[in-house]
Amino acid sequence: MESMDYNIVEALQAVVREKNVETSVLMDSLVVGLQSAAKKKVGLNADIQVVVDEDTGGIEIAQRKTVVERVIDSETQISVEDAQVEYGDGVDVGDVVKTYLDYNDFGRNAIGVAKQVLMQKVRDAERAQIFEMFRDQVGEVVVGTVQQVDRGNVMVNLGRVEALLPFRERIRGENYHQNKTLKAFVIEVQNSPRGPQVIISRTHPGFLKALFEAEVPEIEENIVEIKAAAREPGTRSKIAVVSHDERVDAVGSCVGMKGSRVQAVTRELSGEKIDIVPWSDDPMALITRALSPARVHQIIPDEENHSVVAVVDDDQLSLAIGREGKNVRLAAKLTGWKIDLVSTTEHQLRERLTSELSMGIEQMSGVTEELAVTIKDAGITTVEEMAAATVDQIMLLAGLEAEVARDLIETARATLEEMRKQVEEIIVREKEEAAAALSEEDLFGGAQVEEEKLDEAEIFGESEAEEKSGDSTEEKKLTEEDLFGGASD
């Protein structure tokens, strides 16, 4: 075995420690590099065997050739005559012989090739290792330092890799400067040609959950669980929590003594206010809680469209909506249901109008008296019921043709839509009238009453005392006589 400078193996071991790459991977890379260097010298098709002794640093490089009667490829074959001359008479056809090579003879270019291959393999191995490591960290919080800010995107040094905090994942209003320590949430790891690209976020709902997990031991111990989270990053968020131990209060655990735990999370999120509500498996109960601090009067679900109408008292409507609509929007994100908010007054008005405008099937356009009897006998008495029916149901129950049934359903739906428009128009008109009346009362109500009282006092009497006195009565009579006829004489 040819001896190779032991410093090479020591240098490789140093690389192993620095790059945290497995020794076997590095040795394999060295073998591939030396094979490339040898082939560059003796031939690209040559069969090169490299053996490295990690203990001594010895490296054996050999070109293998097969013994043949007639040589076709001189890089991989040797004639039996030449083999016997070089290796002895015991060599026969089919044997494999080795010619040992000295790496010092490879030349500078060949050694350069070996070095390039080695370093490329080291980089590939390091990238693969980093990719695997950070892929396992997706969904976790990492801490790094800000390197630079470029067009709103922030580059963050995580030690072995540089992470990207895109502009869309930043909390609005936050400032980032070089060397600032930054916490963020790993949302994706991309294996690009330039190496692993770690994408981090400070706006992801998972970041909020992870921060609570770090602050609340009960969550880490799986006693309390965050079932859902919704965020308006930097301004407000909501989480729904449940306790798996009846002795532990889920909301209280997350709030902490004097609010210490939730305040720690709020500080990390640049002052983001956090509502903590108890979880419920009943969607309607969860929606009611999610709309807090507003009190919900009634929930009307629409299972088909996965939506609800939440009825709240008039004085609770603005609270339920929240500033810029944040409260109801977060409640919808938290529960996964579309939420329409209406005041009690509007809801009662809507119900009254819908009842007043409801139409019997005999009143619908295109329905004759005879047809109305047939349809009613089938159990369909209103336009709403007809609009909700299917063609097959109408055909089966009323015995009508498919085309007739289809026309009836389409007419019913169009009629119902027109009725709904009328209801909405009336509601909008009444709201505008109520708002106008309120504005007039605010502007003129108080002063008008004062003025009316003053005028009455001035016109019909000086004071209560004078009205009660006889002088006042006399004066009033005299005035009437003067006005309406005077004395008889």
Residue-wise pLDDT tens digits, 34-67: 888 788 778 888 888 888 777 766 778 888 999 8
Q: What is the pLDDT of residue 449?
A: 41
> Taking the mean position of all CA atoms in its chain, how far away is CA 130?
26
> Taking the mean position of all CA atoms in its chain, how far away is CA 296?
26
- Inter-residue contact 225 to 213 (CB < 8 Å): no
pLDDT at position 482 over 90: no
Q: What is the pLDDT of residue 483?
A: 37
Q: What is the pLDDT of residue 330?
A: 96
* Helix ranges (DSSP H) in 322-445: 326-335, 344-357, 369-377, 383-388, 391-398, 402-440
Q: What is the pLDDT of residue 456?
A: 42
pLDDT at position 139 over 70: yes
Helix axes 344-357, 402-440, angle to 10 degrees: 140
Predicted confidence (pLDDT) per residue in 404-437, tens digit: 888 888 888 888 788 778 777 777 777 677 667 6
Q: What is the pLDDT of residue 489?
A: 36
Least confident of 132-141, 151-160, 205-214, 295-304: 132-141
Give, for 465, the enclosing helix (H) or strand (E). helix 464-468
- Neighbouring-strand partners of residue 146: 156
- Inter-residue contact 292 to 335 (CB < 8 Å): no
Between 113 and 240, name the one with better pLDDT.
240
Phi, psi for 58 (deg, rounded to 5): -75, 140
pLDDT at position 339 over 90: yes
Predicted confidence (pLDDT) per residue in 244-284, tens digit: 999 999 999 999 999 999 999 999 999 999 999 999 999 99
Q: Single out the residue of 28, 48, 30, 27 nearest to residue 38, CA to CA.
A: 48
pLDDT at position 123 over 60: yes
CA–CA distance, 487 with 489 (Å, rounded to integer): 5
Query: Residue 21 contacts by C-beta under 8 Å, 6 or more apart in sequence?
Result: 15, 122, 125, 126, 129
- Inter-residue contact 94 to 41 (CB < 8 Å): no
Least confident of 257-261, 370-374, 394-398, 485-489: 485-489
- Inter-residue contact 186 to 144 (CB < 8 Å): no
pLDDT at position 465 over 60: no
The string over 174-210, giving b where at least 16 C-beta atoms fall within 10 Å of a residue's C-beta and e elsewhere, is eebeeeeebbbbbbebeeeeebbbbbbbbbbbbbbbb
Give domain 6-131's CATH number out of 3.30.1480.10, 3.30.70.100, 2.60.300.12, 3.40.250.10: 3.30.1480.10
Mean pLDDT, rounded, for 124-142: 78
CA–CA distance, 290 with 292 (Å, rounded to integer): 5
Least confident of 53-57, 142-146, 398-402, 447-451: 447-451
The residue ranges of every structural domain in the chain are 6-131, 137-201
Q: What is the pLDDT of residue 461?
A: 43
- Inter-residue contact 141 to 130 (CB < 8 Å): no
Q: What is the pLDDT of residue 439?
A: 62
What is the bridge-based pairing of β-strands 59-68 and 77-79?
parallel
> What would the two tokens of residue 244 be?
């798996």
Average pLDDT over the chain, rounded to an integer: 80
CA dihedral 158, 161, 162, 168 (to 10 degrees): -80
Predicted confidence (pLDDT) per residue in 191-230, tens digit: 776 777 889 999 999 999 999 999 999 999 999 999 999 9
Between 56 and 294, name the one with better pLDDT.
294
CA–CA distance, 219 with 223 (Å, rounded to integer): 6
Q: What is the pLDDT of residue 478?
A: 40
**Strand ranges inside 55-194, DSSP E:** 59-68, 77-79, 96-100, 141-150, 153-157, 162-165, 181-192
- Inter-residue contact 18 to 76 (CB < 8 Å): no
Cis peptide, bond prior to residue 301, ω within 30 of zero:
no
Query: Residue 346 contacts by C-beta under 8 Å, 6 or more apart in sequence?
Result: 427, 431
Class of domain 137-201: mainly beta
Q: What is the pLDDT of residue 443?
A: 55
Predicted TM-score (pTM) of this structure: 0.60
CA–CA distance, 438 with 440 (Å, rounded to integer): 5
Mean pLDDT, rounded, for 80-109: 81
